[in-house]
Chains A and B, each alone.
Chain A
Amino acid sequence: MVPINYYVLLSALLFTTGVIGVLTRRNVMIMFMSVELMLNSANLALVAFAQARNDIEGQILTFFVITVAAAEVAVGLALLVGIFRTKRTINVDDISTMKG
């Protein structure tokens, strides 16, 4: 039986990797994928806690998070396609129309 702390540590590591990905990369696709990585690491922590408490409700929450992630990706990618059509770029530094 693997201790719960290992799972939480792994989850934190994956989340940090996602944060660093969002902060360092300028390709909007890779930033979006890093956001997915963060969502996924939160899911891993939820399932690990469900196991630790011997309670299945954590898995239900993960189920809903996965559903929301699917909806978010569909809308987000549609937005990216729309941005690309007008701006012809996927570099976030070039998308600065609303900059003051």
Chain B
Amino acid sequence: MELVVFLITALVSVACAIAMIVSKNAVHSALFLVLNFSAVAILYLLLHAPFLAMIQITVYAGAIMVLFLFVIMLLGAEQGEGNDPIRWQQPVAIVVGLLLLAEGGLVFFRSGNIIPTPGSGTTLPTDPGATGGLAELLFTKYLLPFEMTSILLLVALLGAVVLTIKSREKEGVR
């Protein structure tokens, strides 16, 4: 049963990823990416990570993709892709990408057991809906990184504001 859910979700996510890079319209690409992120959220649920699944939907599929769609529509960037001046680049890129996949697959499946089983002692919760273990670790062992992410987000916020407000000032001077 779990395998069936996994296979369907994996198929959807790969199909959406390929549709994203193939589709001509950037808005369609963004919507395919939303579907891909939702499929990955289902995979997180299968992997006993319910909190990350919800974060994935709210932050990735929600906030980030809305920002993307907003900017695409603001810039009118739906089409705007002229002819590629380097013709041979496209097939070469596909070949190189597939080589990367083959290489990664070879390394992973040839090297046997690359995951040492004993972990750091903090096991996954047996109750699949529990987020307590994650929260406890986040507010004890990883408190400093957790607080630093708030500074990171503040800096990103300030950076985004500064980058977009600068040209308006220039227009005001003129």
Interface residues of A (CB under 8 A from B): 1-2, 4-10, 12-21, 23-30, 32-34, 36-37, 40, 43-44, 47-57, 59-60, 62-64, 66-75, 77-82, 84-86, 89-91, 93
Q: What are 26 A-B pairs at a CB distance below 8 A?
A: A1-B2, A2-B46, A14-B36, A16-B98, A29-B26, A29-B29, A30-B29, A33-B33, A43-B52, A44-B40, A53-B117, A54-B117, A55-B120, A55-B123, A57-B122, A57-B137, A66-B56, A66-B60, A70-B156, A74-B67, A74-B159, A78-B161, A82-B164, A90-B77, A91-B81, A93-B84
Chain B residues within 8 Å of A8, by CB: 108
- Number of chain B interface residues as a range: 35 or more
A40 vs B61: C-alpha distance when bound (angstroms): 11
- Residue A66 contacts which of B30, B55, B75, B82 (CB distance < 8 angstroms)? B55
A51 vs B3: C-alpha distance when bound (angstroms): 15
Chain B residues within 8 Å of A24, by CB: 21, 89-90, 93-94
A89 vs B77: C-alpha distance when bound (angstroms): 8
B167 touches A67 (CB 8 A): no
B124 touches A51 (CB 8 A): yes
B124 touches A13 (CB 8 A): no
Interface residues of B (CB under 8 A from A): 2-3, 6, 10, 13-14, 17-18, 20-21, 26, 29-30, 33, 36-37, 40, 43-44, 46-49, 51-52, 55-56, 59-60, 63-64, 67-68, 71-72, 74-75, 77, 80-82, 84-85, 89-90, 93-94, 96-98, 100-101, 104-105, 108-109, 115-120, 122-125, 133-134, 137-138, 142, 145, 149, 152-153, 155-157, 159-161, 163-164, 166-167
The binding surface of chain B is classed by DSSP as: helix
A6 touches B155 (CB 8 A): no
- Residue A21 contacts which of B20, B96, B166 (CB distance < 8 angstroms)? B20
B47 touches A50 (CB 8 A): yes
